[in-house]
Structure 1
Amino acid sequence: MNDEKQAAAKERVYSEAEIVERLKNELPKWYYENGWIRRKYKTHSWKSTLMVINTVGHLAEAAWHHPDLAASYAWVEVKLMNHAAKGVTDKDFELAKKIESVVQWQPATEGGALEGTPPTDQRFAYIKYD
């Protein structure tokens, strides 16, 4: 058995009911559909869409676990499913949590030195935060 198949054999694949419950408790903006956990991020422009795609790409490569992406002018959809395990595993939940925390990060709400993008100037509009 090759290394990829051995690793996949050890990974727990969650049932649909377990996935829905975990999403509800851990990632409420994500949903389960057709074998994937998914999230659509709304952006203000193509530039913002590309920034989200690059951010997700960086996190996925660092994690060595790669989502499927779909995009248009003002949105990016992230779809996660472990191809080797043929289902949703802990890898999918962990990467989804990291993507969520980075893409939804709003420095201005933390009270630190970082102010975030100006909310009143559309020239700098970025993510449409939930």
Structure 2
Amino acid sequence: MTERKLKVYSEDEAKERLAKELPHWYVEHGWIRRRYRTNSWKGTLMVINAVGHLAEAAWHHPDITASYAWVEVRLMTHDHKGITDKDFQLAKKIEEVVQWQPGLEGGALEGTPQDDLRFAYIKYDKPKA
């Protein structure tokens, strides 16, 4: 694979970009971060596996910390020692997949029942009005 030099964003630049594009993500200690809340260990594992699949497909690997009812994803481009477009692009894809709620789209897919904890697994962000 060919290594290319990417722009490394300053903390202020990264904060500004996150505010516009990924409002639930934040900058801390040189990483962009997001904590996803889940309803159970099952949901936690599903988020970890989804993030793992996306990261492997992108060939860009996050740090992940997890507990019973949450997953924290941290992105930084290791070989550039900072936040680059790789991190923002993978964060957008992770956000798109983990926060996907097919029941809100009005199609044939109804989505996971959120009012029955036997089936609910992600605590979705509230839709913006």
Asked if TM exceeds 0.5, the reply is yes
Match of 2:27 in 1: 32
2:57 corresponds to: 62
The number of residue pairs the alignment matches comes to: 125
TM-score normalized by the length of structure 2: 0.94
Q: Hey, what does 1:128 align to over in structure 2?
A: 123
Task: Tell whether 2:84 aligns with 1:74.
Answer: no
Aligned equivalents of 1:118, 1:47: Cα separation in 2? 15
Task: Give 1:119 deviation, angstroms.
Answer: 2.0
Structure holding more helix per residue:
1
In 1, Cα distance between equivalents of 2:96 and 2:46: 15
- When the two chains are superposed, the root-mean-square deviation of aligned CA atoms in Å is 1.0
Moved over 4 A (4+): none
Structure 1 stretches lacking a partner, 5+ long: none
1:52 maps to 47
Q: Which residue of 88, 106, 110 maps to 1:111?
A: 106
Which deviates more from structure 2 when the two are superposed, residues 95-104 or residues 118-127?
118-127
Residue 89 of structure 2 corresponds to 94
Amino acid at match of 1:118: P
Q: Distance in 2 between matches of 1:61 and 1:38?
A: 18
Letter in 2 for 1:114: L
TM score, norm. by length of structure 1 = 0.94
1:11 aligns with 2:9: no
Is structure 2 residue 15 aligned with structure 1 residue 20?
yes
